[in-house]
Structure 1
Amino acid sequence: MAGRIFTRSENDITKVRSKKMNSADVPDIVIGRLPIYLRALNFLLEAGKEITASQELAAKLGISSAQIRKDLSHFGEFGKQGTGYEIKYLRDQLRKILKVDRDWAVALVGAGDLGHAIAHYGNFDKNGFHIVAVFDRNPRKIGAKMGRFRILDSESIPTVIQDMDIQIAIIAVPADSAQQVADTLIEAGVRAILNYAPITLNVPPEIRVQYIDPVVHLQRMTYYL
């Protein structure tokens, strides 16, 4: 994988070798900022820009330009101070690093109000995350349609996960059943979970879990009010 820098003295793009990093070598907080950079680069491309600098990204994101350069340096030399990044190329490299240069099949467990909202959130499909199966344990919901989805019995999770080679799942069930759902998903082969249930899951260290609890975020904000 090669990065590119835009030099002051010439108009061509010079290729620079990027580092091949083990994921364990990169701090998790750095990985967490890469999607933010990716989103900003997409906005700049949509605005018709071709070249940007860390200072411009910093102004848009509220992150120091030094931090942006340091974060990117974990993966290679994509630019130099005082020069610019070729936006499309840097965007494409970040997509490869995050492995979002491909499509991902996603399972959704929970067909309640929250699950319904998640299933119809258009940005998942736009960014390559395609919900392909929706599960629920409520007999009144099993077999019913939820938009384009036919709700499946949660008992079929192992078979469907394995047959469709699903590695990512979203949990949108009550807290008292979230751990059991997570255990079933992991045993079936799921490696990453986006958890909306207000509970911390007990999972093996190799399983990635991201938590989304709006109440926790609101409680953090009220501290400053």
Structure 2
Amino acid sequence: MSTVPTATISRLVTYLRILTQLEAQGIKKTSSEHLADEAQVSAFQVRKDLAYFGRFGTRGAGYTVPTLRRELRRILGLTRSWSAAIVGMGRLGEAIAHYPNFGAYDFLLKGAFDIDPHKVGREVAGLTVQHVDELPRVVREKGIDIGFITVPHEAAQDAADALVRAGVKGILNFAPTVIDVPKEIHVEPVDFLAGLKRLSFYILNPQLREEVA
């Protein structure tokens, strides 16, 4: 398989959401045009994105909704459960821990960590907050795959280092800073302030909105 653009993976997530809604409505068939309209891209873009992974539709007949949804779940790795842990149990960490829909998508929150003695030992969303020093043991015993970093930016690199040493292979980084990890570790940044800044730019400069890649 050739290298798949990050933007394509993001759009696959959007297509999956649309297909899930269609299936819930009892709709059995759809088209690239309909997916494109709902995702606000072109039909050509939809077909191009899907073509990275094979052929899923029939010319003139479109896509079978349950089949394409199942294939996208497989491609995105959503046919198995993923275990996650949070490092940083301040307000953001607690808010994420209380998010009600992890289980609906087979993401299981199995650990909560901090270094603050006032937070360690507390109960949050059914989990006991543990010291970061316990990460390696908990990751090993509970098979944790993903780490959420929700610490202040100045502590993010230490949190990332701890997750990497513990054996976590993927990190969702909510701290507004870039972290340095080995190349085999994938990091997804979640920076809502950066999003707000981009939003303000495009509101002021709508003519400069970039075309979908």
| Alignment TM-score > 0.5, same fold | yes
How far off is 1:28 after superposition? 2.4
For 2:11, the equivalent position in structure 1 comes to 33
Aligned AA (2:171): I
Q: Which aligned pairs between 1:4-153 and structure 2 lie closer than 5 A?
A: 21=1, 25-153=3-131
For 2:149, the equivalent position in structure 1 comes to 171
| Structure 1 range deviating more: 45-54 or 119-128 | 119-128
How far off is 1:165 after superposition? 1.8
> In the TM superposition, what whole-angstrom CA distance separates every residue of 1:34-73 from its partner, at most 9, and x where no partner exists?
1111111001111111110111111111011111011111
SS of residue in 2 equivalent to 1:123: coil
Instruction: Give structure 1 stretches of 5+ with no counterpart.
Output: 1-20
Contact residue 145 and residue 168 of structure 2 kept, 8 A: yes
How far off is 1:184 after superposition? 1.1
How far off is 1:80 after superposition? 3.5
How far off is 1:150 after superposition? 1.0
The 1-side partners of 2:154 and 2:50 are apart by 40
The 2-side partners of 1:93 and 1:42 are apart by 12
> In the TM superposition, what whole-angstrom CA distance separates every residue of 1:166-185 from its partner, at most 9, and x where no partner exists?
11110100111110110111
TM-score computed with the length of structure 2 as normaliser = 0.91
SS of residue in 2 equivalent to 1:25: coil
Contact residue 132 and residue 162 of structure 2 kept, 8 A: no
Aligned partner of 2:193 among 215, 220, 224: 215
| Structure 1 range deviating more: 117-126 or 64-73 | 117-126
> In the TM superposition, what whole-angstrom CA distance separates every residue of 1:148-203 from its partner, at most 9, and x where no partner exists?
11111111111111222211110100111110110111111111100000110111
Q: How many residues align?
A: 203
Aligned AA (2:188): Q
RMSD: 1.2
Contact residue 83 and residue 144 of structure 2 kept, 8 A: yes
Percent sequence identity is 42
Aligned AA (1:44): L
For 2:169, the equivalent position in structure 1 comes to 191
The 2-side partners of 1:43 and 1:88 are apart by 11
Aligned AA (1:131): L
Q: Which stretches of structure 1, 4 residues or longer, exceed 3 Å deviation after superposition?
A: none
The 2-side partners of 1:148 and 1:166 are apart by 17
TM-score computed with the length of structure 1 as normaliser = 0.87
The 2-side partners of 1:59 and 1:123 are apart by 27
How far off is 1:123 after superposition? 2.4
